[in-house]
Structure 1
């Protein structure tokens, strides 16, 4: 079976140990966050489609920083997928998967990282041609211990755990053989953004960039 975007998705996941999950307020905020994250050494960035500024920010950032991989997160339907691709997203991430979204995801021209929370969901996506998946919400769904238990029965799958992860927990996940990277928002916490403390964001990004997967 030819697995969907496996080589491209794995390369993307291995490019950085941490993928920041960004909520952007406006273009200026998106630019400031991105500059701080890139300065800290993180170059794979996920813009979650939870704010009105998300798609315009993906378009702007993709053009302004061609050296970075700017993706769209919280993709929950085919219309969002199409809009994100049109905006220039270089990869897509979903919190879960539906039948309708799966049909579109399999035709995606860019890597698609589908979300799973159980072994059954992972096996279903594996049957449909996906080897690389997002484990979400990681901490509430069982954490590193649960994800580690999947490596035995499902040795071909590679995960990016996201949800409730900080830098300490990230280290535990990155020690697992079935984890290529983690997603997190601790380095772009709302309090830091509200305070305009982009120097702190850069510092936290640098610490995250120094982590390594097993």
Structure 2
């Protein structure tokens, strides 16, 4: 498969994944016992796309557990910082990779993989750099402190054929403002799994948060 084909495949696959849900829950797991109950609650609540951050020692095990146990879920790896982590996440079963920022090394490495990359950008210069390599789908991070909705509106002027998954500081109350933009595919959010509910092992409550989120942001979707 040549480089141009992989570039187009990256775009097509990211579009498919992001079309499945208005919100991608951003998850940081501390124990393996909580992985499947949380993931199952979110998927049952109508959010089948999950991003597991590589911020804890069990993250790769969590990705493998979800990939092996929940065939209806799309599990991605987030906070990927280098090619070694990229490869390890793919081996664990990740179906997409998310980075907080972009390096030339990571961007070029991803173009050798069938598992697509959603690279993180914050500025128009970072966007232009990745765009020159063939990327047209991005994570905008950290969204709220980097200009939020107004920044994404401004990006649409000079580069109109890119789309974003903004993440960072977004709440249910502000998610719709992003989703109403033509260049936004979905948003990433961490509000769906409050630590208090995890401590109480109240998985039903987390499922209800997911349901309420989908109903508010995509009311015509059947859950």
TM-score (normalised: structure 2): 0.91
- Quick check: 1:6–1:130 contact (8 Å CA) kept in 2? yes
Count matched residues: 213
Which residue in 2 is equivalent to 1:11? 16
Q: Alignment RMSD, CA only?
A: 1.4
2:81 to 70, 76, 81: 76
* Aligned-residue offset at 1:162: 0.1
Which residue in 1 is equivalent to 2:140? 135
* Aligned-residue offset at 1:212: 3.6
Which residue in 1 is equivalent to 2:154? 149
* Aligned-residue offset at 1:154: 1.1
* Aligned-residue offset at 1:104: 1.1
1:100 to 102, 105, 120: 105
Which residue in 2 is equivalent to 1:58? 63
Is it true that 1:49 corresponds to 2:54 in the alignment? Answer: yes
* Aligned-residue offset at 1:195: 2.6
Taking the aligned partners of 1:61 and 1:178, their CA distance within structure 2 comes to 30
Q: Deviations over 1:125-150 (max 9, x none)?
A: 11111110000000011111111111
Taking the aligned partners of 1:130 and 1:112, their CA distance within structure 2 comes to 9
Taking the aligned partners of 2:60 and 2:74, their CA distance within structure 1 comes to 15
* Aligned-residue offset at 1:12: 0.8
Higher alpha-carbon deviation: 19-28 or 2-11? 2-11
- Quick check: 1:45–1:70 contact (8 Å CA) kept in 2? yes
Return the structure number with greater relative CO, CA threshold 8 A, min gap 6: 1
2:90 to 85, 88, 97: 85
* Aligned-residue offset at 1:204: 1.2
Point out where structure 1 has 5 or more consecutive residues left out of the alignment.
none
- Report runs of 4+ in structure 1 exceeding 3 Å deviation: 1-4
Point out where structure 2 has 5 or more consecutive residues left out of the alignment.
none
* Aligned-residue offset at 1:172: 0.5
